[in-house]
Amino acid sequence: MFNLHYKLEKYSIRFAVAIILVAAVGGIVEIAPLFTIDETVEQDPNMRVYTPLELAGRNIYIREGCYACHSQMIRTLRDEVERYGHYSLAVESQYDHPMLWGSKRTGPDLARVGEKYSDAWHVRHLTNPRAVVPESVMPSYTWLEKDLRTKDLGQHLAALRKVGVPYTDAMIEHAAQDAYGQANPDSDAAAGVEERYGEATHIRSFDGDSRKTSEMDALVAYLQILGRLSDAATQTPPSAAPSTAESSVTEEAPDGN
Amino acid sequence: MIQQLTKFERRFGLVISVLVAGAGLTLIGMSEDGLLAIHGTIILAAGFIAALLTGGTIHEPEPDAKRLESYYDDPIKFGIIVSMIWAVFGMFMGVWVATLLAYPEWTFDAAWSSFGRLRPVHTTGVIFGFGGNALIATSFHVMQRTSRARMADQLSPWFVLLGYNLFCILAVSGYFMGITQSKEYAEPEWYADIWLVIVWVAYFALYMRTLARRREPHIYVANWYYLAFILVVAVLHIVNNLAVPVSFGHIKSYSAFSGVQDAMTQWWYGHNAVAFFLTAGFLGMLYYYLPKRAGRPIYSYRMSIIGFWGITFFYMWAGSHHLHFTALPQWVQTLGMTFSVMLLVPSWIAAANALLTLNGAWGKVRDDATLRFMFLAAVFYGLSTFEGSFMAIRSVNALSHYTDWTVGPVHAGALGWVALITFGSFYALVPWLWKREGMYSSKLVEVHFWLALSGTLVYVFAMWNSGVIQGLMWRTYNESGALAYSFNESMVAMHPYYIARAIGGLLFLAGAVVGFYNIWKTTKMDTVQSSVPSGDGLIADDASHSR
Amino acid sequence: MEIEHGALVYFSKFYGLIYLLLLSTGVLVYTFWPKNKKRFDYAAKSILTEEDHPHA
Ligand code: HEM
Ligand code: HEM
């Protein structure tokens, strides 16, 4: 069978190579320059990374497919800026592996939903959206009260560090403990979270039950931080002089090209 | 069927099966999160069954040498049946998902059955399960017939098909359990991705080795499209899925890219998955089965070549039209828009070529539902590419992006183009492969046609309406200069359209079920001596012209 | 670094365009090359022949 003496015929090989060459250019031209772009987009040295609890929440967001209905990318259009807040900046998702910009808004954009509602609202809404918004078509997430798996969060942070997120050794080492501490403000572990992730970090029992760290804690912690990891957006002039609804807020893109 | 394999092939198959089973065991052993062990078990079971099948026949005699005088069609038959099973499954999931958007409580109170997990089951089920199996099966058929050569060996087609379906099963079962990378159309995790690369290399090698045996000097253009599909999908898949697993014991991995770069890579992948999976491969189908069924050569072979290189070149630039007005640099958006509009030229060249082939044979189109499937597919192909190019214009996209408007053309392409060309090709191919006089019931083909057409129209019109309304509501201002509608008001306005869409989907699903039944019954009919390759007694007419 | 990004973008756009033009010309020349016509005509018709077994 695998007659290796069947030398692959030259004509079809050349043809295959031609296909690759012709197809590859477009991708290379558009993608390659983006890898030098870090230097040209806005920067925010104060941007913080996700805490282990928020990261776990983000992974639940991915697991449940929230991205199928919710975008996290406010476009540079007047109506979007008025509805959802300052348009999203590239820097704000620089630690998002992968990004969750989304492509469909069955539900509203969530890029800046952080602190828009109380924790209790989120818990009630996630458990049964129709209890809060009667006409909602969002699914009920009744299975999030179970214990959050925290023991391998350190490995998660380490993997993220490999792809470029600046987690420190201390963060990786204390990941599980920090996840616990962030949702249990009265515990000894809480202080470490503030020390490693900054004073602005939310440290509280997100699901209202401080006896355990649940998946609900993690998901709500994540939702409450959306749009708040960086203050780049509040520092660049916001929706300056929005023109018509049709035209974009910034005719020039953030990179000035 | 297994006895058809040579002794060597059976032994080699046994070795591969054992290796697969071993890989499954290894995953089980390494699993730290439980989930990997479940997928390890599925892989182990697959390898175990394959080992039983190949091992159980290991001492059977060598197959008759006469097999070499015919084409090797068993895997193609298998692929067609499996593809139809996926079609029914995937479209059922589509109808379910559509219903959930109208009636969110019509599901179980369980994680696996929530919208966010079912939606990728639908997209993967139809695109990769139904579409992918159809592409692989028909490509095996086309490459042999156009090369006038038997497949290079008998083991690799089975490895490709079974391996590919293992990938699909891992993908779909994973979503139910919440295993996903979240990248649209590239959701499966790292171990499934690696497996697909192995399968794909075998697929490419098989294609090249069969082409190398061809008895025709020129490679027929349908093969070009299939080859582009195989090659470019490989490149896209590998690049977009680059990721670092949490550990070899975790299902979870983190994408190598982040933010803007990830968005661009993802939509470079996403758009070209459309181009090379949902377009190029199916154009390969079109360029073979349409002329064959119509009994006349393609209108212009030259146009097919120009279209081929146009599509291969232009599509790659267009991905950024998924990211208009986002944080992606503007020059990339503009480039994407420009190329998307230019893309209309090669797309319409292909659609026109198909329609002009039928010009002068309209009587056949009227009488033969199979040919009508293909005709309609070409029409919808033209329509969805027109809409695609239109939506790629920045000012249009400002309105259409994030809305149901996108979903409309997507399904004009998915139902109208991808599914119809597949059904048409299957109806032409099944009697031919199984050597039957014709399909079990040509009435049922007719029934399927009308169900499919009405289902598609209902679906697409519902989404156009809802999409435009949604887009307009989001950006309408009242007299005092404030936004006129809340998000929830726009959501409520969608309700009737979501019901209409679910009904359209149900019609389409019903058609697929009828089609499956008809194909199944055909395989149970009596064999005839010589089947007529160009379809139910359609005789080639003026095949002499060419351009 | 800023210059580098700009240069890369310029390079991409410029050579992308050149590539587009060359490729289009190449494809058109190939398809309309008179000598290829016979081959294409033959290929277009070749799939319609009715035998259903591989050639020895
Ligand atoms: C029975 C027929 C079908 C029904 C009822 C159906 C329904 C749906 C629904 C409800 C969605 C989700 C839309 C949303 O999130 O708003 C969807 C998405 C999708 N479907 Fe289908 N579908 C059907 C057939 C197909 C087929 C045959 C294909 C492909 C060959 C397909 C490809 C897709 C794709 C690619 C998406 C994602 C679209 C996007 O992200 O914009 N569907 N479908
Ligand atoms: C000339 C050809 C085409 C062009 C220029 C084009 C353009 C576009 C544009 C502009 C979007 C909307 C992106 C957004 O706003 O999010 C889109 C989405 C899409 N198109 Fe096309 N399209 C073309 C052909 C096709 C065909 C033939 C199919 C086959 C079924 C297809 C499948 C899709 C899918 C699945 C999406 C949804 C992606 C997502 O958001 O998940 N397209 N296309």
pLDDT attached to residue A241: 36
C-proximal residues of A, 25-54, CB under 8 Å? 25-26, 28-30, 32-33, 36-37, 39-40
Tokens of B259: 């933010």
The answer to whether residues A72 and A219 touch, using CB atoms and an 8 Å cutoff, is no
pLDDT attached to residue B36: 96
Local confidence band at B530 (pLDDT 50, 70, 90 cut-offs): low
Nearest C-alpha in B relative to C16: B317
**Residue of B135, B410, B418 with the most ligand 2 atoms within 8 Å of its CB, for mutation:** B410
The answer to whether residues B174 and B213 touch, using CB atoms and an 8 Å cutoff, is no
Last residue of a domain, one of B42, B69, B96: B69
Span C3-30, average pLDDT: 79
- Percent of chain B scored above 90 by pLDDT? 85
Rounded to the nearest integer, the mean pLDDT of chain B is 93
Is residue B113 over pLDDT 50? yes
In this structure, the answer to whether residues B373 and B312 fall within a common structural domain is: yes
- For ligand 1, the distance from its centroid to the CA atom of residue B505, given in whole angstroms, is 9
Last residue of a domain, one of B14, B47, B69: B69
In this structure, the answer to whether residues A90 and A16 fall within a common structural domain is: no
In this structure, the answer to whether residues A24 and A109 fall within a common structural domain is: no
Question: How many angstroms separate the CA atoms of A184 and A200, rounded?
Answer: 16
pLDDT attached to residue A2: 43
Q: Which residues pair with B402 in a beta bridge?
A: A104
Residues 6+ apart with CB under 8 A from B237: B186, B193, B196, B197, B200, B269
In this structure, the answer to whether residues A231 and A162 fall within a common structural domain is: yes
Residue A97 sits in a domain of what CATH number?
A: 1.10.760.10
Local confidence band at B529 (pLDDT 50, 70, 90 cut-offs): low
The answer to whether residues B507 and B455 touch, using CB atoms and an 8 Å cutoff, is yes
Question: How many angstroms separate the CA atoms of B267 and B96, rounded?
Answer: 27
In this structure, the answer to whether residues A10 and A116 fall within a common structural domain is: no
Is residue B288 over pLDDT 70? yes
- For ligand 2, the distance from its centroid to the CA atom of residue A49, given in whole angstroms, is 34
In this structure, the answer to whether residues B16 and B120 fall within a common structural domain is: no
C1, part of any domain: no
pLDDT attached to residue A237: 53
ipTM of the complex: 0.93
In this structure, the answer to whether residues B260 and B360 fall within a common structural domain is: yes
C30, part of any domain: yes
Q: What does the pLDDT look like over B311-353, one tens digit per residue?
A: 998 888 888 899 999 888 888 888 889 989 999 999 999 999 9
Residue B347 sits in a domain of what CATH number?
A: 1.20.210.10
In this structure, the answer to whether residues A75 and A30 fall within a common structural domain is: no
Q: What does the pLDDT look like over B361-382, one tens digit per residue?
A: 899 999 999 999 999 999 999 9
In this structure, the answer to whether residues B540 and B493 fall within a common structural domain is: yes
B-proximal residues of A, 112-171, CB under 8 Å? 129-130, 133, 135-143, 149, 152, 155-156, 159-160, 162-165
Q: Does B461 touch chain A (CB under 8 A)?
A: no
A83, part of any domain: yes
Question: How many angstroms separate the CA atoms of B45 and B36, rounded?
Answer: 14
Span C23-39, average pLDDT: 87
The range of the structural domain enclosing residue A114 comes to: 52-240
Question: How many angstroms separate the CA atoms of B83 and B382, rounded?
Answer: 25
pLDDT attached to residue A256: 33
Question: How many angstroms separate the CA atoms of A103 and A68, rounded?
Answer: 8
* Nearest residue, CB atoms, A33 vs list C1, C8, C19: C8
Q: Does A22 touch chain C (CB under 8 A)?
A: yes
In this structure, the answer to whether residues B322 and B258 fall within a common structural domain is: yes
In this structure, the answer to whether residues A64 and A35 fall within a common structural domain is: no
Taking the CA of residue B392 as reference, the ligand 2 atom at the shortest distance is 10
**Number of domain units in chain B:** 2
Q: What does the pLDDT look like over B201-234, one tens digit per residue?
A: 999 999 999 999 888 888 999 999 999 999 999 9
Closest CA to ligand 2's atom 39:
A103
pLDDT attached to residue A254: 39
In this structure, the answer to whether residues A185 and A69 fall within a common structural domain is: yes
In this structure, the answer to whether residues B42 and B76 fall within a common structural domain is: no
Local confidence band at C45 (pLDDT 50, 70, 90 cut-offs): confident
pLDDT attached to residue A242: 38
Last residue of a domain, one of B69, B87, B118: B69
**Which residues on chain C are in Cβ contact (under 8 Å) with B292?**
47-48
Q: Does A17 touch chain B (CB under 8 A)?
A: no
In this structure, the answer to whether residues B140 and B236 fall within a common structural domain is: yes
**Which residues on chain B are in Cβ contact (under 8 Å) with A139?**
100, 104, 107, 114-116
**A36·C23 Cβ contact <8 A:** no
Q: Which residues line ligand 2 (CB under 6 A)?
A: A 103; B 184, 270, 274, 278-279, 318, 321-322, 340, 343-344, 347, 384-385, 388-389, 391-392, 397, 400-401, 406, 410, 413-414, 417-418
In this structure, the answer to whether residues B179 and B318 fall within a common structural domain is: yes
Chain C neighbours (≥3 Cβ pairs under 8 A) are A, B
pLDDT attached to residue A243: 36
In this structure, the answer to whether residues A148 and A24 fall within a common structural domain is: no
In this structure, the answer to whether residues B418 and B365 fall within a common structural domain is: yes
Beta-carbon pairs below 8 A across chains B and C: 86
C28, part of any domain: yes
Nearest C-alpha in C relative to B342: C20
pLDDT attached to residue B505: 98
Is residue B545 over pLDDT 50? no
A27, part of any domain: yes
**Number of domain units in chain A:** 2
A23, part of any domain: yes
Question: How many angstroms separate the CA atoms of C17 and A25, rounded?
Answer: 11
Span B89-96, average pLDDT: 98
**Number of domain units in chain C:** 1
The range of the structural domain enclosing residue C23 comes to: 17-48
Q: How far is A198 from chain B (nearest CA, A)?
A: 23
pLDDT attached to residue A10: 75
The answer to whether residues B183 and B266 touch, using CB atoms and an 8 Å cutoff, is yes
The range of the structural domain enclosing residue B45 comes to: 1-69
A211, part of any domain: yes
In this structure, the answer to whether residues B147 and B5 fall within a common structural domain is: no
In this structure, the answer to whether residues B257 and B274 fall within a common structural domain is: yes
**pLDDT tens digits for chain A (257 residues)?**
444 334 456 788 888 998 988 888 777 777 777 776 654 466 788 889 999 999 999 999 999 999 999 999 999 999 999 999 999 999 999 999 999 999 999 999 999 999 999 999 999 999 999 999 999 999 999 999 999 999 999 999 999 999 999 999 999 999 999 999 999 999 999 999 999 999 889 999 999 887 889 999 999 999 999 999 988 887 755 444 333 333 444 433 333 33
In this structure, the answer to whether residues B61 and B159 fall within a common structural domain is: no
Local confidence band at B190 (pLDDT 50, 70, 90 cut-offs): very high
**Which residues on chain A are in Cβ contact (under 8 Å) with B159?**
none
In this structure, the answer to whether residues A27 and A128 fall within a common structural domain is: no
Question: How many angstroms separate the CA atoms of B448 and B451, rounded?
Answer: 5
Residue B465 φ then ψ, to 5°: -60, -55
**B235·A96 Cβ contact <8 A:** no
Local confidence band at B449 (pLDDT 50, 70, 90 cut-offs): very high
* Nearest residue, CB atoms, C45 vs list B71, B313, B543: B543
